[in-house]
């Protein structure tokens, strides 16, 4: 039998994934979760217009999707008051992060990110041999000033910042991000991950021109638009960078159903407004549940609430295990001191009822 002939870089990588999916945990448990509140999915679902558009497109899946994504890029450009050549569409932000890393990072190239931030970006960087340099959070927030200082010291090709942030749910106002862009060294491209921006307070999005070559902004249909399973993300960036994605992207990666669903969802801003209202109500309820159990709900600009349990990571992990055993799927930050917390997605009334019932039992067992 021929031996497995991986590249030296691939052979050196650990066999790991950024996230263990709830389905994997359900197979281990031998039963489904009663409440799925760990992946920051929108339990409000997509726009009914998007569902209808996807159902219609399902009858046409014998055809490939448009590899140039002409209609979707035009609609996104109109939505963001830019040109279609500023837009890149791909298989979720995760897929676009992989493409960007492939474009920019060779073995030994440096990137800067936050310790404990969204783990898929470092996963891609490691996969292309980049050197990852991490800076700690400042309290419960990512630290733009520390990221800039690190970038000035190391001159990385890429700097990653999520605003609003996952896993803490915190955010910085737009002017803070604008100041960060102005302070970065000229050889560093800022990756601004705005996956949760549709759910954030007004003023969170910075004023950055689409032509600005210092920044690439990532957005998604997974959170506010409620289509995480569809895998549609997009980037806003300078045209020369957008064209570079055509060198390496999967040109047929976005199928007809995905393109139709995203188009219809984008057109239904009334639905997005309803989701925002539902998310705000759900955050309030999760905050009340946290208070009733002696935990602190951190301020959130996302569709999840991060709860500070007031002890250490071992206690939070024990609580997480107990909740899993009770059929409740939530997650937690993976790096101290953030790992003192649980992260709970906003859900519908039924799911939050289950969480409210199970949390005190899990905390008592963990103690």
* Segment 165-174, tens digit of pLDDT: 999 999 999 9
Above 80 in pLDDT, residue 115? yes
CATH architecture of the domain 48-267 equals 3-Layer(aba) Sandwich (3.40)
Domains 20-45+270-362 and 48-267 share a fold: no
pLDDT tens for each residue of 136-175: 999 999 999 999 999 999 999 999 999 999 999 999 999 9
Cα angle, residue 218 at apex, residues 213 and 219 outer, rounded to 5°: 140
Contacts of 134 (CB under 8 A, 6+ apart): 112, 113, 114, 115
231, two tokens: 């895998």
Per the CB < 8 A criterion, the answer to whether 118 and 137 are in contact is no
Could you tell me whether strands 87-90 and 131-135 are parallel, antiparallel, or unpaired per DSSP bridges? unpaired
Q: What is the pTM of this model?
A: 0.95
20-45+270-362 to CATH, choices 3.20.20.70, 1.10.10.10, 3.30.540.10, 3.90.1150.10? 3.90.1150.10
Domain layout of the chain by residue ranges = 20-45+270-362, 48-267
115, two tokens: 């310790």
How much is the pLDDT for 15? 86
Residue 44 DSSP SS3: coil
Above 80 in pLDDT, residue 2? no
How much is the pLDDT for 20? 87
pLDDT tens for each residue of 18-73: 888 899 999 999 999 999 999 999 999 999 999 999 999 999 999 999 999 999 99
pLDDT tens for each residue of 220-271: 999 999 999 999 999 999 999 999 999 999 999 999 999 999 999 999 999 9
Per the CB < 8 A criterion, the answer to whether 77 and 83 are in contact is yes
Above 60 in pLDDT, residue 1? no
To 10 degrees, what angle do helices 144-154 and 174-183 make?
A: 10
How much is the pLDDT for 3? 80
Sheet holding 304-308: strands in order across? 296-297, 304-308, 341-345
């Amino acid at each position: 039998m021929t031996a497995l002939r991986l590249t030296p870089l691939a052979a050196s990588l650990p066999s790991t994934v950024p996230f263990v999916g709830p389905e994997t945990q359900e197979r281990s448990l031998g039963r489904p979760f009663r409440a799925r509140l760990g992946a920051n999915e929108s339990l409000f679902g997509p726009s009914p217009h998007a569902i209808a558009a996807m159902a219609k497109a399902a009858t046409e899946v014998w055809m490939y999707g448009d590899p140039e994504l002409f209609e979707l890029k035009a609609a996104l450009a109109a939505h963001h008051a830019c040109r279609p050549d500023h837009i890149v569409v791909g298989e979720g932000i995760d897929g676009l992060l992989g493409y960007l890393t492939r474009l920019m990072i060779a073995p030994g190239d440096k990137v800067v990110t936050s310790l404990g931030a969204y783990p898929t970006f470092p996963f891609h960087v490691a996969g292309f041999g980049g050197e990852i340099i991490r800076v700690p959070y400042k309290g419960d927030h990512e630290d733009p000033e520390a990221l800039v200082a690190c970038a000035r010291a190391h001159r990385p090709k890429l700097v990653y910042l999520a605003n609003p942030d996952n896993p803490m749910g915190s955010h910085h106002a737009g002017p803070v991000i604008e100041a960060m862009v102005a302070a970065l060294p000229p050889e560093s491209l800022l990756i601004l991950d705005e996956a949760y921006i549709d759910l954030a307070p007004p003023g969170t999005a910075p004023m950055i021109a689409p032509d600005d070559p210092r920044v690439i902004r990532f957005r998604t249909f997974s959170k506010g638009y409620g289509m995480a399973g569809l895998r549609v993300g997009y980037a806003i960036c300078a045209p020369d960078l957008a064209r570079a994605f055509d060198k390496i992207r999967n040109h047929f990666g976005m199928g007809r159903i995905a393109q139709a669903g995203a188009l219809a969802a984008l057109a239904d801003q009334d639905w997005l407004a309803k989701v925002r209202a539902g998310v705000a109500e759900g955050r309030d309820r999760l905050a009340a549940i946290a208070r009733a159990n002696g935990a602190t709900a951190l301020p959130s600009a996302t569709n999840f609430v991060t709860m500070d349990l007031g002890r250490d990571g071992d206690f939070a992990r024990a609580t997480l295990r107990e909740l899993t055993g009770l059929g409740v799927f939530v997650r937690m930050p993976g790096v101290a001191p953030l790992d003192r917390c649980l992260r709970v997605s906003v859900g519908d009334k039924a799911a939050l009822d289950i969480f409210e019932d199970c949390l005190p039992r899990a905390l008592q067992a963990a103690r």
